[in-house]
C-alpha cells in the first residue's frame, strides 16, 4: 500500500480543524485582555465542574501529561486564579480550589467562549455535528480496539 500525502487524509483535516479552532479561540480570549490560555481555562473548568478532581484526572480529561498539568497549575496559582494546598487525607495530592479572581475570569469568559463556539459552528447544522461525533467515535473505537 502506497503512503499518501498526509494532507490528503481525513486525519490531517481533523488536526487542522482543531488547531485552527484553538488559535481562533485563543485570539478571542486574548483580544479581551484576559491573561489565560485555552489549556489553563480547561484546567480551571475541570476543577470547577468536578470537585476534588486530581491532577491525573485533569490530565486525562484535557489530553495533557501530568507534568504539563503541573506547570499549568503552577501558572494559575501565580496568576491568582487557583489556590493549591495539601490534600487533607493524602499528603501526596493537592486540593485545588478556584479563587475569587479565578471565578471572575471564568464568569467573564463564559460569554466569550459561547460566542467563539457559536462562530465556529456557524452554518453547521445539528445533524452535521451529530454525524461528526458519530464518525469520530468510530475512529476512536477503531484505534482503541485496533491491533498493530
What is the C-alpha to C-alpha distance for residues 16 and 71, in angstroms, rounded to an integer?
Answer: 26
pLDDT, tens only, 21-31: 999 999 999 99
pTM to 2 decimals? 0.85
Per-residue confidence (pLDDT) for residue 142, from 0 to 100 = 93
* Mean pLDDT value of segment 50-66: 93
Rounded alpha-carbon distances, angstroms, from residue 139 to 11, 22, 144: 10, 21, 8
Query: Mean pLDDT in the chain?
Result: 92
Query: What share of the chain in percent tops pLDDT 70?
Result: 93
Q: Are the CB atoms for 97 and 47 separated by under 8 Å?
A: yes
Q: Is the pLDDT of residue 69 over 70?
A: yes
Better-predicted residue by pLDDT, 144 or 92? 144
Query: What's the CA gap between 88 and 143, in Å, rounded?
Result: 39
Amino acid at each position: 500500500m502506497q503512503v499518501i500525502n498526509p494532507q490528503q487524509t481525513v486525519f490531517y483535516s481533523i488536526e487542522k480543524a482543531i488547531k485552527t479552532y484553538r488559535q481562533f479561540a485563543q485570539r478571542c480570549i486574548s483580544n479581551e485582555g484576559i491573561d489565560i490560555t485555552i489549556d489553563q481555562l480547561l484546567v480551571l473548568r475541570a476543577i470547577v465542574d468536578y470537585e476534588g478532581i486530581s491532577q491525573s484526572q485533569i490530565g486525562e480529561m484535557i489530553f495533557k501529561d501530568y507534568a504539563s498539568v503541573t506547570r499549568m497549575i503552577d501558572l494559575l496559582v501565580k496568576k491568582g486564579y487557583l489556590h493549591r494546598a495539601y490534600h487533607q487525607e493524602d499528603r501526596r495530592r493537592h486540593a485545588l480550589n478556584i479563587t475569587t479572581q479565578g471565578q471572575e475570569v471564568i464568569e467573564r469568559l463564559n460569554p466569550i467562549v459561547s460566542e467563539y463556539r457559536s462562530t465556529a459552528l456557524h452554518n453547521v447544522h445539528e445533524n452535521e455535528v451529530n454525524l461528526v461525533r458519530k464518525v469520530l467515535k468510530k475512529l476512536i473505537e477503531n484505534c482503541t480496539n485496533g491491533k498493530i
